[in-house]
Amino acid sequence: MADNVDEDALYRIKEGDYVVLQRGDVFKAVQILPKKKVIFEKQWFFLDNAVGQLYGSTFDIVSGGTLQPRKPKDAESPADAKEAGTDNRNIQDDGKSQKLTRDDIENFKEQGLTDQEIIQQLVDNSSTFIGKTKYAQDKYIKKKKKKYENIVTILKPSCRILALMYHGREPGKICHLRYDTLAQMLTLANIHAGSKVLVFETCAGLLLGSVMERMGGYGSVIQMYPGGGPVRAGVESFGFPAHFHDTLHEFPVCHVNALLAGALDAAPEGPDSTQSDAAGGEEPKPPKTEPTSGPEEVKMETNSGADDVCDPEKEAREKRIEAKAEERKAKQEEKRRKLASAAALLEGRDADGLVIASRFHPSPVLMGLLKFLAPSRPFVVYSQYKEPLIECYTKLKEQGGTVNLRLADTWLRHYQVLPNRTHPVLLMSGGGGFLLSGTTVAADPPRPAGAQRAEEPAPKRLKVTDADG
């Protein structure tokens, strides 16, 4: 028993935790903060009472927005009606079957009736309920429950839940990357602990977080980011332990050409590199073609990049400016250090995997970043549209250096499974985007193809990736 108590401690909700709220199949990611008002599914409440409860608990939302742990399994359906009709030949839609009015229901609510009592009232006052078939009664109650039940479940975030959440709530922010497609990416790219993975994404950090979850804090992740800084809003929602962040590196794609040319000086003055222009004549420049990364993105980065700068009182303005300058300097130093460490990881061109999911044209991104992969490593490119992946495919075929190319998408169908009522769910997703996947290989023949008869191992060349430029 004693160890059970200990064990539970791991699964309790703590202040400051990132959690996911669930009601039905709607999710929302929030952080547990004291006295913070949360609005979810047209209800507002405070999360204070959730602290100390176990993850996965369901709460009733009572007046004043406080949460009360729901008692385990109170008698399920309010009316296990014994009576039921067999068909609907006598059911007329005259709009008068429900005798309660809107006002009555509002009254009930004010009187503090529980959701179940309200539903019972609705059932009792429905003249047609008894005539409905058992299945129709079931459906009726389910529908009412959905409307009147004031409950919320608090979950521990995971790649599955966050992917479901983003897809349901804000598909635009994640380039309409559906969760099953995300699942394919993680598997096709062989994401696992201990590898060195490159991630290029504009999916609010969902893909990055998913990769980090699969790596479990072992190995390294290098986020190749466009624009002024990496976007990681979604990564926070995963609530990773601090040491996970030590494995996360970042590298601006605007320095890719310089790095490839060996001309990257890890002491750039500002975020806008002048030397990448000078060095990168031979390559298309993904970041330059679309420099407008969206204003909100830039704002987010400045927040996440370092601690808040823009807050203190208005009086000590000068002091602030000074402090700001100091801070900027420190920030730049930090940025330089980060750039250098990421560059060091990339320079060996021995990364183990590459995943791309962005709103940029995938072709230049793929062609540029593929050069950092070791041979015999998988890569996966996502695009919401098929055509740019056709272009990638064609280019890779022309250029060589890859095998196993496959352009595919997945089709996802959910089923309702109930006694005598099993069928595919009526509404399904029209498309979850497309994936191009493949494996890198040594770019060109290991020089003279005669040396292999010798007993000693054939000459192994380490610089395999440089021939594909």
Partner 1 sequence: MSFVEYSDLIRDGDVAIVYLGHESMMHVKVKQGAQTQTRYGVIRHSSDLIGRRYGSKVTCSKGGWVYVLHPTPELWTVTLPHRTQILYTTDIATITMMLELKPGSVVCESGTGSGSLSHAILRSVAPTGHLHTVEFHQQRAEKAAEEFKEHGVDGLVTVRNQDVCKDGFGVSGVADAVFLDIPSPWEAVGHAKAAMKRHGGRVCSFSPCIEQVQRTCEALAEEGFEEISTLEVLLRVHDVRTVYLPLPDFGADVFAQARADGAETKPQTPVALKTTTPPREMQGHTGYLTFATKPRT
- Which residues in 211-230 contact partner 1 (CB under 8 A)? 213-218
Site for partner 1 in 152-171 (CB under 8 A): 158-160, 163
Burial annotation 307-334 (CB, 10 A radius, 16+ → b, else e): eeeeeeeeeeeeebeeeeeeeeeebeee
Minimum CB distance to partner 1, residue 200 (Å): 20
* 138 near partner 1, judged by CB under 8 A: no
Comparing CB distances to partner 1, the nearer of 16 and 194 is: 194
Site for partner 1 in 364-403 (CB under 8 A): 374-378, 386, 390-391, 393-394, 403
Per CB under 8 A, the list member of 11, 135, 272, 326 interacting with partner 1 is 11
Per CB under 8 A, the list member of 407, 467, 468, 469 interacting with partner 1 is 407
> Could you write out the DSSP letters of every residue in 219-282?
SEEEEEE-TTS---HHHHHT---HHHHHTEEEEEGGGHHHHHTT---S--SSSS-SHHHHH-SS
How far is Cα of residue 101 from the mean position of the Cα atoms in its chain? 43
Per CB under 8 A, the list member of 409, 467, 468, 469 interacting with partner 1 is 409
Minimum CB distance to partner 1, residue 158 (Å): 5
Cα separation, 31 vs 35, in Å, equals 12
Scanning 169-177, 245-253, 336-344, 406-414 for contacts with partner 1 by CB under 8 A, the matching segment is: 406-414
* 457 near partner 1, judged by CB under 8 A: yes
Per CB under 8 A, the list member of 88, 127, 303, 452 interacting with partner 1 is 452
Total interface residues for partner 1 by CB under 8 A: 77
Scanning 6-14, 93-101, 169-177, 256-264 for contacts with partner 1 by CB under 8 A, the matching segment is: 6-14
Comparing CB distances to partner 1, the nearer of 427 and 449 is: 449
Cα separation, 300 vs 8, in Å, equals 36
**Strand partners for 29:** 20
Per CB under 8 A, the list member of 242, 419, 426, 430 interacting with partner 1 is 419
Minimum CB distance to partner 1, residue 360 (Å): 20
Residue pointed to by tokens 């990681």: 232
* 455 near partner 1, judged by CB under 8 A: yes
Site for partner 1 in 420-449 (CB under 8 A): 422, 434, 439-442, 444-446, 449
Sign of CA dihedral 189, 193, 197, 200: positive
Scanning 27-35, 100-108, 176-184, 257-265 for contacts with partner 1 by CB under 8 A, the matching segment is: 176-184
Scanning 28-36, 181-189, 248-256, 354-362 for contacts with partner 1 by CB under 8 A, the matching segment is: 181-189
Comparing CB distances to partner 1, the nearer of 65 and 217 is: 217
Residue pointed to by tokens 């804000």: 170
Minimum CB distance to partner 1, residue 253 (Å): 24
Q: Do 251 and 342 touch, CB atoms closer than 8 A? A: yes
Backbone angles phi, psi at 355, to 5 degrees: -125, 135
Site for partner 1 in 60-119 (CB under 8 A): none
Q: How many CB atoms lie within 10 A of CB 267?
A: 10
Per CB under 8 A, the list member of 26, 51, 54, 136 interacting with partner 1 is 54
Cα separation, 308 vs 156, in Å, equals 27
The single-letter DSSP state of residue 98 is B
Q: What angle do CA 209, 210, 213 make, to 5 degrees?
A: 85
Site for partner 1 in 184-213 (CB under 8 A): 184, 186-188, 190, 192-195, 213
With H, G, I as helix, E, B as strand and everything else as coil, classify residue 39: strand
Comparing CB distances to partner 1, the nearer of 223 and 440 is: 440
Minimum CB distance to partner 1, residue 159 (Å): 6
* 413 near partner 1, judged by CB under 8 A: yes
The single-letter DSSP state of residue 35 is T
Comparing CB distances to partner 1, the nearer of 293 and 465 is: 465
Residues in the chain: 469
Sign of CA dihedral 184, 187, 189, 193: positive
Cα separation, 12 vs 56, in Å, equals 9
Residue pointed to by tokens 């050409």: 257
